[in-house]
Structure 1
Amino acid sequence: MKANLLRLSPILALAAVAALTGCGDKEKSSKRDLADVGYQLTEADWFRAAAGDDPAAMDKFLKGGIGIGTKNAEGNTALHVAAAAGAQKAAKFLLDRKMAVDERGAGGRTPLMEAVRAGQRDMVRWLLRQGADPKLKDAEGYKPLMLAVKEGRAEMIGDLAANDRDDLDGALLAAALLGKAPVIDELTKYGASIYASMDDGRTALMVAAENGHTEAAKLLVDIGANRFSKDTEGRTAAELAASAGHADLAKMLLSEPTQQDFALRSEEQIGKEMTTFVDQADPEDAPAGGSTGAGGATAPRHRDHDVATTLEGKSLGTSGSAEGTGPKPSSPPGLVMRHFRQRELPIEVRHVEGNSARLQMPAGGSVREVKVAEGETIPGSRLKVIRVQRRYQNLKDSAGPAAEASIVEVEDSSTGVRRNLIAGTPSSAHDPVALVEDAATGKRYLASPGQHFTGADGNRYTVADVRPNQIVIENKETGAVQTLPLRGPRG
């Protein structure tokens, strides 16, 4: 046996030498081939080839022994480097060789995140088509959408927003904190709500004002944010700006209310305004034939600004779908939520005395109290006081017994619309209302709490609630409840 082993040992040794020689020859061959195209067989040049979008050279690196998962000093792979450089051919080369599209690199970031940070919009779109997960977080807890906000990549918001709708409102608040006005503009077009607020009641406008971001604050006011809203401590955006030392911004936010700020509009007027907003935000380069509704249904565009009618009693088309949570009916109602509005008035009812009411309102850069009697017009507005009364009623969001409330009924003399203003609650121009679109026909309607309609499935539905970022709908046939998220004009 020993003799046989001794006879085999030289053979094994020769085989090992031959193998090593073969490897050496391959390495030498790769070195020569790489030198011919301007590279050296080093890790540094491997990453240079990836950034340079040179898959032919990368193939030579692999044959020369470079590992496909090799990481640079920062902790990134060649796929991360290619993504940051916008090198799609190099990225495809790596994915074709089974490299994970969501490979983690420096800071726990994926190639998609690196493409976002580097401003590579085409690469972002391409990676999403390859299955990159837009909801993963890096080591600091940032998703791609939040990285786009942080880096001010407004041009990427649309590509990421559709894949991460749950974070749109948070992204808007973050953009307000950072003062990223172009990002704010894009987020609101894709479904972020200007009415979104933090736990302490601070809206995006309040956050922008408190941090001195004038451009962002002006934009938010222009697109409908209410400068008279208050946080849980009763502070307005102007007061937060003033306390933080931003006097000029505070003055702008405390400017005298206009008659438009006091206006009460009819449903027809509100519907027309909301439809116009959605149409103006709809991109001209959207797919031909109209905007895509939920479930892939294509709805015709409304470029003529048709006045929306209420959803009450309507029957929707025969196709379309919507996202829902909880128990679902056999077929969804076929609605897409496009816009939300709940405009507050720059008036606060303090209390009533006989046939007069004491109101608090902004004036001359500060807040003043005025006394208005029945039949008189509130200063600076077209609101005529029709009736002043005290009565017992259950206040909204209160489970307690009925309480005595001071109520002032006003009428807009230019529109004839009436509204009750109640002490202790924010004065609003109208109830919460959403602009919804029939995914099958593209027709638009105003949806308010309590409305009834027939869905695309033939079932009867009730609008249970209308919120800044969603509508809650109840199927009257089954009792199932589902939510329709705000998709925005470009959703």
Structure 2
Amino acid sequence: MGTLEVVRTLLQAGPQPDIAAINERNHTALMLAARLDTPSVVASLLEAGAAVDATMGDGWTALMLAAHDGCLPTVRVLLSKKACVNTVAADGWTPLLSAIDAPDPSEELVRLLLGAGADPAGVGGRTAPLYLAAEVGATAVVTALLAATPPAPLEATAADGSTAVMVAAQNGHATTLKVLQDAGARADAMRMLDDGNSGLHLAVVYDHLEAVRTLIGSPTVDVAAAIANGYCSLHLAAERATTGALKLLLAAGAPVGATTPDGTTALHLAAAAGEIQSLDALLEAEAGDTL
């Protein structure tokens, strides 16, 4: 319940309670106090001998739990007691990844962990911290990771070869995408381990117009680039209800007559899908002349 005086009374009782005891969820008293964000209780338990880096069955520590719940005051106390900032749990989570995965990721908390020595590259973790921050659209956290010493690697990939740019585009985080591009991340990188998609292809498929607009504004992005099956971004837009993206691509110079390997054009695809608005936009762009 977070009542400091009761905790102190129990810690001074005889015989002293087992400070390392766990409940049915494998939480120690320290872990419960960390999740409740009761820093004074956390400090008392540590002073009484609680192990700061004790782990649950899955390898999570009090620091990881506090970081995931956004408990900044408790994180400060745990770090002051030299809690390990680079623990890797059995599921691949680390304190830094836990903080980024919080419901409302805290830039201050992330900077605190980085200042305490958390690895911005996330070596050994389930994914790169920058990738996760881009995935959830935590722009301030992305900025903090890029400002770390050393900075988080811009082109770190997930298991399928996706970069932070790609996952930001896929999820429509245009502001995050702009920060990554301004930092020098490759806007034209393609997911060669999978389907060849780039950030632009993904933004088009998921109909994220601001992300499309941000990417086509990059001098390195080729709006005519094709994925592994030979489809370019215009083809992908034409066969979906993504007329806004299609119009942006046409305005950016996407070749209206580009064909897939079997000779199919964007007009064919829009007609087959019954996308009337896309048909109109393509016809206005003189796609009919390519038939």
TM-score category, normalised to shorter length: 0.5 to 0.7
Rounded to whole Å, the distance in 2 between the matches of 1:137 and 1:365 is: 49
Match of 1:152 in 2: 137
In the TM superposition, what is the alpha-carbon distance from 1:184 to its structure 2 partner? Answer: 1.3
Rounded to whole Å, the distance in 1 between the matches of 2:81 and 2:249 is: 61
Contact 2:128 / 2:156 at 8 angstroms: preserved in 1?
no
Match of 1:77 in 2: 61
Q: Which of 170, 178, 188 is 1:177 aligned to?
A: 170
Match of 1:198 in 2: 191
For residues 261-300 of structure 1, what are the structure 2 equivalents within 5 Å? none
Q: Which of 151, 157, 165 is 2:154 aligned to?
A: 165
TM-score (norm 2): 0.65
Give the partner amino acid of 1:209: V
Q: 1:88 to 1:227 in 2, by over 3 A?
A: same
In the TM superposition, what is the alpha-carbon distance from 1:193 to its structure 2 partner? Answer: 2.2
Q: 1:208 to 1:235 in 2, by over 3 A?
A: same
1:240 aligns with 2:236: yes
Q: 1:187 to 1:30 in 2, by over 3 A?
A: farther
Give the partner amino acid of 1:131: G
Secondary structure, aligned partner of 1:83: helix
In the TM superposition, what is the alpha-carbon distance from 1:64 to its structure 2 partner? Answer: 4.5
Match of 2:278 in 1: none
Match of 1:131 in 2: 117
Contact 2:135 / 2:164 at 8 angstroms: preserved in 1?
no
In the TM superposition, what is the alpha-carbon distance from 1:47 to its structure 2 partner? Answer: 3.1
For residues 253-402 of structure 1, what are the structure 2 equivalents within 5 Å? 253=248, 255=250, 346=255, 364-365=284-285, 367=287
Q: 1:25 to 1:247 in 2, by over 3 A?
A: closer
Q: Which of 39, 43, 48 is 1:59 aligned to?
A: 43
Q: Which has the higher contact order (CA 8 A, sep 6+)?
A: 1
Rounded to whole Å, the distance in 1 between the matches of 2:129 and 2:288 is: 46
Rounded to whole Å, the distance in 2 between the matches of 1:96 and 1:192 is: 35
Secondary structure, aligned partner of 2:83: coil
Contact 2:165 / 2:177 at 8 angstroms: preserved in 1?
yes
Rounded to whole Å, the distance in 2 between the matches of 1:201 and 1:105 is: 32
Give the partner amino acid of 2:235: E
Contact 1:238 / 1:253 at 8 angstroms: preserved in 2?
no
Contact 1:208 / 1:216 at 8 angstroms: preserved in 2?
yes
Secondary structure, aligned partner of 2:187: coil
Give the partner amino acid of 2:74: A
Give the partner amino acid of 1:219: T
Rounded to whole Å, the distance in 1 between the matches of 2:16 and 2:251 is: 75
Contact 2:204 / 2:242 at 8 angstroms: preserved in 1?
no
Give the partner amino acid of 1:195: D
Match of 2:273 in 1: none
Contact 2:155 / 2:164 at 8 angstroms: preserved in 1?
no
Give the partner amino acid of 1:179: G
TM-score (norm 1): 0.41
* Structure with greater proportional strand content: 1
Give the partner amino acid of 1:142: T
Match of 2:210 in 1: 215
Per-residue CA deviations over 1:122-158 (Å, capped at 9, x if unaligned) read 011111111111222566x311111112222122111
Rounded to whole Å, the distance in 2 between the matches of 1:117 and 1:240 is: 31
* Structure with greater proportional helix content: 2
Q: Which runs of 5+ in 2 are unaligned?
A: 1-8, 18-25, 259-281
Secondary structure, aligned partner of 2:231: coil
Per-residue CA deviations over 1:323-380 (Å, capped at 9, x if unaligned) read xxxxxxxxxxxxxxxxxxxxxx85999xxxxxxxxxxxx862464668xxxxxxxxxx
Match of 2:182 in 1: 189
Match of 1:227 in 2: 223
Match of 1:390 in 2: none
Give the partner amino acid of 2:231: R
Q: Which of 55, 65, 77 is 1:93 aligned to?
A: 77
Secondary structure, aligned partner of 2:177: helix
For residues 90-129 of structure 1, what are the structure 2 equivalents within 5 Å? 90-105=74-89, 107-118=91-102, 119-129=105-115
Contact 2:37 / 2:73 at 8 angstroms: preserved in 1?
yes
Q: 1:170 to 1:30 in 2, by over 3 A?
A: farther
Contact 1:84 / 1:120 at 8 angstroms: preserved in 2?
no
Give the partner amino acid of 2:185: A
Root-mean-square deviation over aligned CA pairs: 3.8
Give the partner amino acid of 2:132: L
In the TM superposition, what is the alpha-carbon distance from 1:174 to its structure 2 partner? Answer: 1.8
Rounded to whole Å, the distance in 2 between the matches of 1:158 and 1:165 is: 11
Contact 1:176 / 1:204 at 8 angstroms: preserved in 2?
yes
Contact 2:53 / 2:84 at 8 angstroms: preserved in 1?
no
In the TM superposition, what is the alpha-carbon distance from 1:172 to its structure 2 partner? Answer: 0.5
Secondary structure, aligned partner of 1:28: coil
For residues 36-51 of structure 1, what are the structure 2 equivalents within 5 Å? 46-51=30-35
In the TM superposition, what is the alpha-carbon distance from 1:177 to its structure 2 partner? Answer: 2.4
In the TM superposition, what is the alpha-carbon distance from 1:26 to its structure 2 partner? Answer: 5.5
Contact 1:239 / 1:250 at 8 angstroms: preserved in 2?
no
In the TM superposition, what is the alpha-carbon distance from 1:220 to its structure 2 partner? Answer: 2.0
Rounded to whole Å, the distance in 2 between the matches of 1:108 and 1:201 is: 27
Query: % of aligned pairs identical?
Result: 26
